[in-house]
Chain A
Amino acid sequence: AQKVTQAQTEISVVEKEDVTLDCVYETRDTTYYLFWYKQPPSGELVFLIRRNSFDEQNEISGRYSWNFQKSTSSFNFTITASQVVDSAVYFCALREAAGNKLTFGGGTRVLVKP
């Protein structure tokens, strides 16, 4: 069975600090897809990134970066130089190639204070 664990329920930082969100997953499939979504206070989930299990290259997009390590089944997300607009709940998710559903972690609430 697939499972996603986000151990940090809430992180509070001061603007311009870096923040790393942890995500650990479990799956028996060799082919799977990992995602990060952002849920701002408005409620609508926004897609941030998709990574497939064959591609362990780390990725950087502006102030966002992702570190995928199959050896530890982790897909961590770092926000560099955080801004107040980064305040949101961030969800990590997993989808097995053989299945239909996207399994979400419990989410990490990030609060960036000015």
Chain B
Amino acid sequence: GAGVSQSPSNKVTEKGKDVELRCDPISGHTALYWYRQSLGQGLEFLIYFQGNSAPDKSGLPSDRFSAERTGGSVSTLTIQRTQQEDSAVYLCASSLEGANGELFFGEGSRLTVL
């Protein structure tokens, strides 16, 4: 489709395991964001990629979290040694512009850490 695609849509893992979440942005969008939404909560900013610039990692909650964006397109969010508090919906968004661009969101990846 033409929208932001995220996979997997659901992931259940055991505490201590590593997980990878994938985001395929809208073609041509230079900006890509990861947000986290815990149950019944608002959206927490995690990381932002813009073109070839260094990513803004200021929202990553710990060094267990990392993300990369290959070739300016697909992004992978990796969570190492998952903890129960990592359980949330991880949302990816992309946009055409920088500061004032509308963000297009994917449907999210729901992570459950047992």
Contacts and interface: CB of A to CB of B under 8 A. Distances in A.
Interface of A: 33, 35, 37, 42-47, 50, 52, 91, 95-107
Given A44-B107, A44-B108, A91-B42, A100 B98 contact: yes
A103 B100 contact: no
A107 B42 contact: yes
A103 B45 contact: yes
B59 A101 contact: yes
Given A43-B107, A44-B107, A44-B108, A100 B48 contact: yes
A27 to B, nearest CB: 12
Interface in B43-89: 43, 45, 48, 50, 56, 58-59, 89
Contacts of B93: 45
Contacts of A101: 33, 45, 48, 56, 58-59
Among all A-B residue pairs, the 3 with the closest Cβ atoms: A45-B105, A106-B42, A104-B43
Given A33-B100, A101-B59, A44 B106 contact: yes
B42 A104 contact: yes
Given A43-B89, A43-B108, A107-B42, A100 B100 contact: no
Contacts of B105: 37, 44-46
14 contacts: A37-B105, A43-B107, A45-B91, A47-B102, A52-B100, A95-B99, A95-B100, A96-B99, A98-B99, A99-B99, A101-B56, A102-B103, A104-B42, A104-B43
B51 to A, nearest CB: 12
Nearest to A9: B40
Contacts of B91: 45
Contact of A97 (B59, B99, B107): B99
A97 B100 contact: yes
Given A44-B105, A44-B106, A50 B100 contact: yes
A47 B100 contact: no
A51 to B, nearest CB: 10
A103 B35 CA distance: 10
